[in-house]
Amino acid sequence: MKNNETNSKINKNGIVEKQDFKNCPSDGHCTISIIKNKKIVIQKDEINGIYYTLEDNGTNSILKYTYLKQGHKDALDDNYIEEVIIPFEHTKTNLELKDAELKEKNILFGKHCYCKGEAGYYVIEKGKLFLSIKEDSYLLKFDFEVSNITQKISSIDATF
């Protein structure tokens, strides 16, 4: 899979096999997967951290954008992952959200790393999202920020 190819073929695991990312950081690799017929349910753990589960749902799907920076193979916990989780109704052709609407629709940012105090999931509350779906072709433009943490991904511009 190369970051400069475009094709909407989705494999059996829901991963888009060929994708076009205009702003994936050069020190890592980005992928998009689509989890069909699922909805997101946000829950909180005993220390008020956010996590999510998926439930069957015939009208919703989940778009998952993942950035992975491979760590040193000899070091444990050296990988760095950021992901954006976007639930959407696959029966609609467009999704446009801004700021508070992102929180209402449970748009999530996940940071997974050895980075004390920043790892975990966060509800995105500031940004502008545009998702267009035409037949089996998707266009995603998303500029966002997450409060109180550092992030490598703050803009997604992808066609798949």
Q: What is the pLDDT of residues 74-100, one digit of tens each?
A: 766 678 999 999 999 988 889 999 999
pLDDT of res. 3: 39
Q: Region 41-50: what's the mean pLDDT? A: 90
pLDDT of res. 1: 33
pLDDT of res. 47: 87
Look at the block and give the residue holding tokens 């109704």. Answer: 89
Structure tokens at 125: 């509350």
pLDDT of res. 79: 86
**How many domains does the structure of the chain reveal?**
1
Sequential DSSP letters for 6-65: EEEEE-TTSBEEEEEESS--TTSEEEEEEETTEEEEEEE-TTS-EEEEEEE-SSEEEEEE
Percent of the chain with pLDDT over 70: 84
Give the domain range for residue 53: 4-159
pLDDT of res. 78: 74
What residues have CB less than 8 Å from 7, skipping those under 6 apart?
17, 18, 19, 160
For 67, the enclosing helix (H) or strand (E) is strand 60-69
Q: Region 4-29: what's the mean pLDDT? A: 68
Whether the per-residue pLDDT at 10 is higher than 80: the answer is: no
**Category of 4 on φ-ψ map: left (φ > 0), alpha (ψ -120 to 50) or beta:** alpha
pLDDT digits (tens, 9 = 90+) for 132-151: 998 878 899 999 999 999 99
pLDDT digits (tens, 9 = 90+) for 112-127: 998 888 999 999 999 9
Q: Label residue 19 by pLDDT band (50, 70, 90).
A: low
